[in-house]
Amino acid sequence: MFYLHQYSMDNEDYVLHIDKCHQSISGWIVGKCCSVNELIVRYQHGEEKIPLDKERSDVVESLQYLDVNPCCGFSFTPQKKENLTLCLQRNHSVIEIASIAYFKEKTNNRPVIFIHIPKTAGTSFRNAASEIELRTLFDYGETNPDTSDIIKNSIYANDRRLLFDYVMANEIQFLGGHEISDYFAMFSEIGLFCTFFREPIQRVISEYQHVVKYYDYPYSIETFCTDPISCNRQSQSINNMDLESFFFFGLTEDYKASLSLFNTLTGLYFPYIETNMGREKCEDRWNIDQNIIKLIKSHNQQDLLLYEKAKEMFYEKLSTKQCMPA
């Protein structure tokens, strides 16, 4: 299966549009200052030339400010099932205009993109991926020692293409981190986006206890709860992605069942590991003063709604699957 990764839609030389990128690839291209008669398709080894021989009256009508050749469309089925690049011949040079990725139509050949929301059992899930020796990458911030070198040299060097190519070339199976919802645009077609959600009040208290214990946070729980950075943290972490966009999401409160569902959906076998837990088990709950509960609720309305919807969808999906044991 072919997936469009990146393309330059409009520059000083041409206007390009990709209509379809699946088993075959089709679209149109119009030169602004000179005619374009063919595309060059470059594979890892070799290339082929694709003529622009499809009439596109719709393009002629929409680009009336240009002298458009009606035969500006193309459609082809790639000769090889591998990553490829669409190019144009310009004078004595060849310019790349689109990068297209190839993935087999099997779940275990697509990378898991794990959005690790703090204090939702994400460390346990991440360690499970390492335990079964998946090929992993992590992004926990530019200066965090857990962040993979290729992430530092690509994402934090403003070269996203380098990361995508690395994931493809090295068949990375698991990419996780705290602030990676922005990766959705880059991996939306090939990534299996996953996360865990937690009851918001319990999550806020757990994170407060964590920052006090490990980072010497000096302020009160009331100050922490009302800090905009701490409010609606789960909604912030997924950057308001629709729940329907996720391949999988689990619940911290039902971690074993969540893990079983994930294993069933992917065919992987993530073991049940508990790491970095403030309580004895994932399902344990904090006893909280009622005034603090009211304060947290008032500053986390978005997360409360998100969690209720996620919980409903999770148990609905769980009821339809015969899950592998965790």
From CA 288, how far away is CA 194, in angstroms rounded?
A: 29
Please tell me the predicted confidence (pLDDT) of residue 125: 95
Please tell me the predicted confidence (pLDDT) of residue 55: 94
Are residues 12 and 61 in contact, defined by beta-carbon separation less than 8 angstroms?
Answer: no
Please tell me the predicted confidence (pLDDT) of residue 284: 52
Q: Which of 98, 84, 87 is nearest to 38 (CA)?
A: 87
Please tell me the predicted confidence (pLDDT) of residue 3: 58
The correct CATH number of 2-102 out of 2.60.120, 1.20.1280, 2.60.40, 2.40.10 is 2.60.40
Packing angle, helices 255-266 and 301-320, rounded to 10:
60
Give domain limits for the chain.
2-102, 107-320
The lowest-confidence range among 47-56, 102-111, 171-180 is 102-111
Please tell me the predicted confidence (pLDDT) of residue 283: 46
Which has more pLDDT, 325 or 16?
Answer: 16
What's the pLDDT tens digit per position in 270-314? 888 876 555 445 445 667 889 999 999 999 999 999 999 999 999
Predicted confidence band of residue 44 (pLDDT cuts 50, 70, 90): confident
**CATH topology for 107-320?**
Rossmann fold (3.40.50)
Which has more pLDDT, 80 or 196?
Answer: 196
